[in-house]
Amino acid sequence: MKLFLFLFVGLVMGPSFLEIGFPKFADPVASICANLFLLMAGLELSFKKMGRQLLPAAKLSVGAFLFPFLTGLIAAMIILRDTPLAGPESYIFIALALAVSALPVAIQILKDLKLYHTDLGRLIIATATLCDILAWVCFALILPAESLKSWFVTHLSLVFFFLGLALSDSPYPSERLREQLQRLNTWVFGPIFFISIGWKLNLWLNLDWSQVLLVFILASVSKWGGSYWTARQMGFSKQRSLLLGLTLNSRGAVEIIISNLALQQGLISEKIFATLVILAIATSLIPGPVTRLAKLRDE
C-alpha cells in the first residue's frame, strides 16, 4: 500500500496537479529502479514454498485466473472496438490485467486475520503466486519483437523478473543480502518507479469513469465469482470460499507494473492505463471488509 502513496506523490507533481515537468535525467534512473523492483518481485515468489499446495492451487487458479482472463477478453473487445489498438495482443493484455493477483496484499490480509500460517493461508499464497507467474509468462509471449536484439530490449524488465524467480529457491543471494535488497526495494526502487509513473500520467485527461466502472465490475465479479465457485467445487464452505475470492481479487502493484510495460510497448492507451491504475488501487482497498471475516478463522 505504501507504493500507492508514492504513486499519488507522482500524480501531485505531474500534469494531474502541479504540472511540474518530468526531468529527462530521471527516465533512465526510473527504468533501472523498475528492473530492480521486478527482480525483487521474482525473488519473493517461490515454487518450493507452494509445496503440497501446488495441485489445489492449480485447481483454484481455474476460477482465480481463467474466469477473469476470459472475461477480460470480452471486456477488451468492447473497450477497444473501433480503435487503432484493437488486436489480439491488446486483448490478451487486458485479460491478463484482470487475471493477476496481488501477492503482497494477500499476505497482509492473511497476517491480519492470523491465517498466514494455516493451510488456507498457504493455499491463497500459492494461488496468488501461480496467477502472477502465469500472467508474466503470457505477457512475455505477447510482447512484440522483430529480432533477437529488439526482443531483449522489449523483454529486459521481464528478464529481471524471471531471473529473480529462478533465484528465489536458491541459496543465492544470501538471506542477509536479500533483506538488504528488500529494504532498498521498499524505500528506493519501488518509490522512484511509482513516483515516475504518477508523474507522467495526466489522470484527468485520461480518466473515463464509465470505463473504470465497467472494468471494475467485470474484473471484481469474474475474479471473486470464479474463485468462489471453484472453491465451492473443491469442498470449501461458503465462508471460506468468500474469503478466498475476496483475497485473490486484489491486484495491487503487479497490475500497475505490467500495465506500464504494456503502455510503453503500445499495447494500451493512456486512457486504458489510467483505468487499470484505478482498478489496481480500488481492488487493493477492498481487503478492509475482509478483516471482518476474522472470526471465521477458527471454523
Work out how many domains the chain is built from and give that number: 1
The reported pLDDT for the residue numbered 299 is 52
Mean pLDDT, the chain, rounded, equals 88
Provide the residue range defining the domain that includes 245. 2-15+26-298
| Helices marked H in 234-296 | 238-248, 252-264, 270-285, 287-290
Distance CA 106, CA 274 (A): 23
With a cut of 70, list the residues of the chain below it in pLDDT: 1, 146-148, 287-299
34 lies in some domain:
yes
43 lies in some domain:
yes
Closest CA to 35 of 47, 45, 43, 46: 43
The reported pLDDT for the residue numbered 123 is 93
CATH number, domain of 196, equals: 1.20.1530.20
42 lies in some domain:
yes
The reported pLDDT for the residue numbered 78 is 87
74 lies in some domain:
yes
The reported pLDDT for the residue numbered 230 is 96
93 lies in some domain:
yes
20 lies in some domain:
no
Distance CA 266, CA 144 (A): 9
153 lies in some domain:
yes
Torsion angle (degrees, nearest 10) of CA 183, 186, 187, 190: 140
Closest CA to 252 of 194, 209, 213: 194
Closest CA to 118 of 220, 235, 243, 224: 243
The reported pLDDT for the residue numbered 157 is 87
21 lies in some domain:
no
The reported pLDDT for the residue numbered 69 is 96
Distance CA 213, CA 197 (A): 22
The reported pLDDT for the residue numbered 290 is 58
The reported pLDDT for the residue numbered 117 is 83
